[in-house]
A and B are shown apart, each in its own frame.
Chain A
Amino acid sequence: AQRVTQPEKLLSVFKGAPVELKCNYSYSGSPELFWYVQYSRQRLQLLLRHISRESIKGFTADLNKGETSFHLKKPFAQEEDSAMYYCALSSGGSNYKLTFGKGTLLTVNP
Chain B
Amino acid sequence: NAGVTQTPKFQVLKTGQSMTLQCAQDMNHNSMYWYRQDPGMGLRLIYYSASEGTTDKGEVPNGYNVSRLNKREFSLRLESAAPSQTSVYFCASIVGGKYGYTFGSGTRLTVV
Interface residues of A (CB under 8 A from B): 4, 6, 9, 32, 34, 36, 43-46, 49, 51-52, 86, 90, 92, 94-103
Q: Are A100 and B43 in contact (CB under 8 A)?
A: yes
Distance (Å) between the CB of A9 and the closest chain B CB? 7
Q: Give the size category of B's interface with A.
A: 20 to 34
Chain B residues near A34 (CB-CB < 8 A):
100
Q: Are B101 and A98 in contact (CB under 8 A)?
A: yes
Q: Which stretch, B19-27, B63-71, B77-85, B103-111, touches the partner chain A?
A: B103-111
Chain B residues near A4 (CB-CB < 8 A):
42
The 8 Å CB contact of B45, one of A44, A46, A98, is: A98
Q: Are A86 and B43 in contact (CB under 8 A)?
A: yes
- 23 A-B pairs with CB atoms under 8 Å apart are A6-B42, A36-B101, A44-B43, A44-B101, A45-B103, A46-B99, A52-B98, A86-B42, A95-B31, A95-B56, A96-B96, A96-B97, A96-B101, A97-B33, A97-B48, A97-B58, A98-B43, A98-B45, A98-B101, A100-B43, A101-B42, A102-B42, A103-B42
